[in-house]
Chain A
Amino acid sequence: MKPYMANSKYEPVIGLEIHVQLLTNTKLFCKCSTSFGAEPNSQVCPICLGMPGVLPVLNEKAIEFGIKLALATHCKIAPKSIFARKNYFYPDLPKGYQISQFENPLCQNGYIDIELDQTIKRVRLTRIHLEEDAGKSIHAEEFVNKNQTFVDLNRCGVPLLEIVSEPDIRSPHEAYLFLNKLKQLVQYLDICDGNMEEGSLRCDANISVRPENTTELGVKTELKNMNSFKGVERALEFEINRQINELNQGNKIEQVTLMWDDKANNAIPMRSKEMAHDYRYFPDPDLVPVLIKQSTIDEIRETLPELPDIKIKRFISDYNLPEYDANVLTEVKDIANYFDDVVKQTKDPKLTSNWIMSDVLRTLNEQKIKITEFPIEAFRLSELINLIKKQIINAKTGKSIFIEMLTNNESPSKIVSEKGLNQVSDESEISTMIDDVLNENNDEVVAYVAGKDKLFSFFVGQIMRRSKGRANPKLVNQILKQKLDSKR
């Protein structure tokens, strides 16, 4: 429990503004590439450099991506939306204005549901609009002198969706859950890679506190420069505590913008001059209104993938999986797809879920790879699971074959037959092995008969070793028990 929740009479009120960088191939208003990590200022042209006389031409793909997110967040899509200029001077903004949307944004009035203590909490979205990114100003790097600023304009003009939430969030943890849910959605929709550390998903927060059980909003501050989901949580906790402390000391909250410093765990107010912007928004006369037909929306709706909420429900109802499994398996779309593919051939959802949640996810974590880079294809894994199901191999052999498959991507059946790993399920063969083991360990048999039950697993281990792990464990257990019981 966070300190401010435990002992204060204040309730935090939080609204988020999230920028997601879209995965279009080209920029929002020119044909320059958007790929990340290129040589500075190599992905630029007269248009994104704002040279005299150039004009913007809208990348329709960005509109399509915006509509996808709008549909996934239950927003109203404007039949007519317009681009506006947001005017301010900065070296990484070559035109002196950013093309954004102000009045008549692309989408309005949506929501995202988050799961909170077994209940569903709805966070409303005010709007989603499209805009171009600015370039990058580089100050604090080794190669930059104290009085210098370097500017990289590769990012300048990359399409962004700005998502603005209503102040419906009541704790840093809710903010974290909301961000995670949004990240999951944009990843499901393939419109953004959701990587906050690389800046492809950015989050600012508006935050105020008010006495519990009141409705009037307190004075809010704005938090910027948070570079990870956990950073957002930490920054919000810091700022809530700060505001409550101020109020408890009888001070007023000043409306300021704060820059979060994650290393120092501190938020520093920006100079008032830096905040005093009058952006002078007005409709961009170089661009015509964006007109969206219902038929276009319907066409895009057809292309939407199954979204997480619906997928979870299906995994629970169709596969009879526990809610926990359904949540874990659907967190990443490609993993859910992988699960679907494997289960299609194993027809055993729970066994498949166990394999993916343990062995597969562990491997992905250890090797830091995505499921799309995972060496074992879905049909190979289902083959392996089916070998276990049909008792051709036992689970333990299965694990070792799995590890072998990670490196050679062989068919598990082939590995089994080449190495003679078939499970021994012949009762007389197993019976002979048991007899041999019991004869060789007479002392332990005597001790067991005398009541030392723990030794049962010792015998099982010896038998499995003798069979090189191939003996059917169920049969071993069953026959061993019979034989020992008859000695008691």
Chain B
Amino acid sequence: MNLLESSYSSIREHLIQNDIKCTDLVETCLAHISSHQDLNSFITVLNEHAYKKAKAVDDRLKQGKIKKLSGLIIAIKDNICIKNVKTTCASRILHNYISPYNATVIEKLEAEDAIILGKTNMDEFAMGSSNENSFFGNVKNPYQKDRVPGGSSGGSAVSVAANLTMAALGSDTGGSIRQPASFCGIVGLKPTYSRVSRFGLVAFASSLDQIGPLAKNVEDCGRILEVIAGYDSHDSTCSNIPVPSYVDSLHNNPEELSVGLPVEYFSDDLAPDIKDRIEDVIKFLKASGVHVKEISLPHTNYAIADYYIIATAEASSNLERYDGARYGYRNSSNSGLDEMYVNSRSQGFGDEVKRRIMLGTHVLSSGYYDAYYRKAQKVRALIKSDFDAAFTKCDCILTPTAPTSAFKIGEKVSNPLEMYLSDIYTVPANLAGIPAVSIPVGTDANKLPIGLQLMAKPFNESTLLNIAYFVEKNYKD
């Protein structure tokens, strides 16, 4: 049996009993990584670090020192900083950048004896939905290698799906955890905005970014979230609401809960296979005694446009620090300061990043600010109030994660707008700051995974995971 096909939760007892050794797990992972290099899901593999940590965890487990994530092998998206390790954001401009500090989530994972395996490939600066925008090359979907894995956390999703790691951290600004999880047939959770510290996450759009887990099942996601969530004095926007035990809340009994179906998410843009599959899950839930009702999120149509104003505005400012002056790529062939800026940034950033910097610069510029940025904030408030109203009628909202399954590599590269629309169902949760999860619910006619998205009220990750867990355990296609 390949141990890595199992979830962490299912082998945790064996790790505690010392039946399974962490060092063996790490060795297996490293072997898989090298035999699956064609997937291109890792940018940096931390062989030595992982093996050393595994040995230390084995020793501690032998002494009965059990931590919350003892022996969990986890890969980290390459926009989360690990001290003395390259953090490239899959960009040329940071291709040689080594972080001098640990992100808060890394400190927390290390403290609970998770074993960090390496840094995963991604769309440059988390901008993309296909993992085709990486300076280190595109990532392949393990189901069909001519297809994209989704993005931007494509490397994280593929590493979990192809059993190169047990779990991974990703970041989700407009769907970057959920959409690749959906395309790769795994579970991906975007927590409530402010639930997880962003300190050490290289910012794309600060008011939307959240770190979250990608894993083989709902329980693993809950375990990881429990460790990485919580107050952090380094992040002013981080919430101090206590973190519950998410694993304890998995009852496998959602009967008391009601699920809302937003009519706007079931339009003609949705691929028929996916629509059928989601409706089948709905039927199953009804049959299981869950209250299912139609709801409306009337401003859904504005979400993508709204998102691309707010996210790019923030990104244009967040990415100003990459100027070639202090670290990262510098073109120093010209002597002038302006030339150094222009050449370093022109050559250091990829096309999609530059497109978004220009867009964001435009919407913030004098004379356009009111028409774009200020208006976008108002629309964002409307989208948020849609959800507030909906959650007075239901505990949880059920939708597809993406309008299609994994598309072909190169298929949408020349059409950015179409690419942007692949996040149409995931973006609203970021704008509203609410938690959302994608879980696999079978495959389409092409044998490609289909993702189901669940969204809940802020800080109601327990509700979300409980329903997700019920579907995962009981829905059979």
- Give the interface of A toward B (CB within 8 A): 46, 49-58, 85, 87, 89, 91, 94-97, 147, 149, 151, 278, 280-282, 285-288
Contacts and interface: CB of A to CB of B under 8 A. Distances in A.
Contacts of B233: 57
Contacts of A151: 325
Nearest to B364: A280
B323 interface: yes
Main secondary structure of the interface of A (DSSP, over half): loop
B232 to A, nearest CB: 9
A89 B341 contact: yes
A286 B236 contact: yes
Contacts of B317: 85, 87, 96-97, 280, 282
24 contacts: A46-B100, A49-B326, A52-B94, A52-B97, A52-B321, A53-B81, A53-B103, A53-B202, A57-B233, A57-B235, A89-B323, A91-B323, A91-B337, A95-B320, A96-B319, A96-B321, A97-B317, A97-B320, A147-B335, A280-B317, A280-B361, A280-B365, A282-B317, A286-B236
Contacts of A91: 323, 325, 337
A53 B320 contact: no
B203 interface: yes
Interface stretch (B193-201, B278-286, B436-444): B193-201
Contact of B99 (A50, A53, A95, A280): A53
A57 B206 contact: no
B89 to A, nearest CB: 7
B237 interface: yes
A55 B323 contact: no
Q: How large is the interface on B (under 10, 10 to 19, 20 to 34, 35 or more residues)?
A: 35 or more
B326 to A, nearest CB: 6
Given A57-B234, A286-B236, A280 B101 contact: no
Contact of B235 (A55, A87, A147): A55
A288 B235 CA distance: 10
Given A51-B327, A282-B369, 13 more contacts: A53-B199, A53-B200, A54-B200, A55-B235, A57-B235, A87-B364, A89-B320, A91-B323, A91-B325, A280-B364, A285-B207, A287-B237, A288-B236
B373 A282 contact: yes
A341 to B, nearest CB: 43
Nearest to B335: A147
What 10 A-B pairs have minimum CB-CB distances, sorted nearest first? A96-B320, A285-B207, A285-B206, A280-B364, A52-B202, A53-B200, A53-B202, A53-B81, A50-B321, A96-B321
B210 interface: no
Contact of B320 (A55, A87, A281): A87
Given A87-B320, A97-B317, A53 B87 contact: yes
Contacts of A149: 337
B313 interface: yes
Given A53-B202, A147-B335, A287 B236 contact: yes
A462 B37 CA distance: 109
B34 interface: no
A285 B99 contact: no
Most B Cβ at <10 Å: residue of A50, A51, A57, A287? A51
B392 interface: no
B338 to A, nearest CB: 8
A56 B314 CA distance: 15
Nearest to A88: B320
Contacts of B327: 51
A285 B341 CA distance: 25
A24 to B, nearest CB: 17
Contacts of A87: 316-317, 320, 364
Nearest to A288: B236
Contacts of A147: 335
